[in-house]
Amino acid sequence: MLELLGAAVVNLFELKYLLPLLFGTLAGMIGGALPGVTITMTIILVLPFTFGLDPLQGLAAMTGVYVGGESGGLITACLIGIPGTPSAIATTFDGFPMASKGQPGRAVWLGIWASVIGGLFGAIFLIGATGPLAAFALRFGPWEYFALFILALSMVAGLTEASLLKGLLSGAIGLVITVIGTDPIMAVPRLTLGSEFLQSGFQFLPILIGIFAFAQIMADIEKMGPGRTGEVHAVTAPNLRVSHLKIVGEIVSRPFVLLWSTWIGILIGVLPAIGGSAANIMAYDQAKKFSRHPERFGTGTPEGIIAAESSNNANVAGSLVTIMAFGIPGDAVTAVMLGAMIIHGIQPGPLFISQNPTVAYGIFAAYLLAHPVVLLLAAVGAGFFLRIVVVPKAVLIPVVLVLCVIGAYALNNIMANVWVLLIFGLFGYLLVKLGFPLAPLILGVILGDQIEVNLVRAIMTDSNPWLFLTRPISGTLIALAVISVALALWQHQRAQARLARPVDAEVEF
């Protein structure tokens, strides 16, 4: 394993891989620094640039975007109090107060070094756990795969902040989208209403671009108008010089916060479609709960920054494990990576590492190398990332939309994909306005075909439906799916009861 990793790292030092990694990380940091531009949107914008590259070049660029994006968000979070990405929200709580107290360099570099150290700890898990988990997944038959995908969907639906019912319905709508088109058994057109446009079904990348990028942009436009251009006015470049040795010392002298937050990040990354924002906030909350001085949180304490930043970068490693071992995207960013792999003829899943060792270890190497690249780019251009936020949204939005169109079009060089982007962009925006979470929908679209294929295979092999419950792994996974829905239901009811309590109190008086 280490030999393969060593060879992959050496291979990645070739200019043809190093440049995409460098540009990807830079794009990620810029996208991460720009408030309103998420890492998902950045990776969507980078996607069309990777079509002409070989698979490892493209995936190196995307890994760079992912790692760079998680780190880019913290710069604006610390210096102007606006998190560049949702996964830097908790970084703002202590990063901005610390910078406001005259220590901007300490705030930014504590975040960057915590990101890098947390990310590198995450790499140990990524490299060590992916192979064994993939080997375990090789024991899966269609029953187990079906159960695993159902578990992933139920977890995503249950863990969304909106109502559980809407999360489940959103996932079901995603599955419905995948049944439109030619069926996998008899190649019969299904629910196409005689339309040629619908006959080949919908590819998930244009849907994903529409739902995540377009719907997000529309939500940003809502807040614009006369006197509200969405512009952030020029920020004077603060002095970011620090003693790096002292900063690293500050981090490693708090091993519990660092390791516990990293572990939280990894675990949340492994769970499908939860993402770095949850990891960031949960790790911050845990650090505060375990602290001897919780009252210092929110005033500029280093523990807050270390917890928030080490967790969101470790979260990337967890997400990569899920996609590489099981073929299930850990979040929207890995969903785009999954799409890119499929375009290049690579099927992520248990056989991925054994069938494509060069690409798999190349991703590990890219993940490892992206961290020093982040350090380098932050050292050279932290001030530049800060200036990026003054780009007016009126300029940014049209350019982003053009790149979204190219991303959808370039998948097959056909306009149908652009129309799909438009239709699902509008659909996604309407769902957002109605309070439906989008993550279950997109996971339903991604997993729908696989759920159907494995269900059909299982029934074709043995028509006894009880096998889904009586086979040990499949039964356990389905039980976990039921437990996750029940748990979510219980949590939602508890939250509802908490909300209703003040009303009851008013009635009594």
Residues that bind another protein (CB under 8 A): 48-49, 51-52, 165-166, 168-169, 172-173, 175-176, 179, 183, 185-186, 188, 190-191, 193, 218, 221-229, 392-395, 397-399, 401-403, 405-406, 409-410, 413, 415, 418-419, 422, 426, 429, 434-436, 448, 452, 455-456, 459-460, 463, 499-503
Shortest reach from residue 318's CB to another protein, in Å: 29
Region of residue 190 (left: phi > 0; alpha: psi -120 to 50; beta: else): beta
Shortest reach from residue 166's CB to another protein, in Å: 7
Shortest reach from residue 378's CB to another protein, in Å: 26
The closest alpha carbon to 307, from 257, 357, 272, belongs to 257
Closer to another protein by CB, 142 or 302: give it: 142
Q: Which residues on neighbouring strands pair with residue 190, listed in sequence order?
A: 181
Closer to another protein by CB, 190 or 296: give it: 190
d(CA 379, CA 372): 11
Shortest reach from residue 260's CB to another protein, in Å: 33
Closer to another protein by CB, 223 or 244: give it: 223
Shortest reach from residue 496's CB to another protein, in Å: 8
Closer to another protein by CB, 379 or 395: give it: 395
Token reading at 36: 């309103």
Return all residues near 340 (Cβ < 8 A) that are at least 6 apart. Answer: 47, 50, 58, 59, 62
Shortest reach from residue 188's CB to another protein, in Å: 5
Closer to another protein by CB, 1 or 500: give it: 500
Cα diameter, the chain: 74
Shortest reach from residue 85's CB to another protein, in Å: 21
Q: How many CB atoms lie within 10 A of CB 502?
A: 9
Closer to another protein by CB, 119 or 206: give it: 206
The closest alpha carbon to 328, from 267, 270, 262, belongs to 270
Token reading at 506: 């008013």
Closer to another protein by CB, 148 or 403: give it: 403
d(CA 317, CA 402): 31
Return all residues near 170 (Cβ < 8 A) that are at least 6 apart. Answer: 157, 160, 431, 436, 437, 438, 439, 440, 441, 444
Token reading at 134: 């993939």
Closer to another protein by CB, 242 or 401: give it: 401
Burial class (CB in 10 A: 0-12, 13-18, 19+), 196: exposed
d(CA 363, CA 357): 10
d(CA 307, CA 284): 5
Shortest reach from residue 403's CB to another protein, in Å: 7
Do residues 326 and 338 make contact, with C-beta atoms less than 8 angstroms apart?
no
Shortest reach from residue 328's CB to another protein, in Å: 19
Closer to another protein by CB, 15 or 186: give it: 186
Do residues 169 and 441 make contact, with C-beta atoms less than 8 angstroms apart?
no
The number of C-alpha atoms within 13 Å of 266 and in the hemisphere containing its C-beta is: 20
Closer to another protein by CB, 303 or 452: give it: 452
Burial class (CB in 10 A: 0-12, 13-18, 19+), 485: middle
Shortest reach from residue 46's CB to another protein, in Å: 12
Beta strands in 162-207 (DSSP E): 181-182, 189-190
Closer to another protein by CB, 135 or 500: give it: 500
Shortest reach from residue 66's CB to another protein, in Å: 21
Token reading at 71: 């780190």
Closer to another protein by CB, 2 or 503: give it: 503
Shortest reach from residue 201's CB to another protein, in Å: 12
Torsion angles phi and psi, residue 344, rounded to 5: -85, 10
Closer to another protein by CB, 166 or 387: give it: 166
Q: How many CB atoms lie within 10 A of CB 192?
A: 16
Helix, strand, coil percentages in the chain from 3-state DSSP, rounded to 5? 75, 0, 25
d(CA 112, CA 101): 19
Shortest reach from residue 480's CB to another protein, in Å: 19
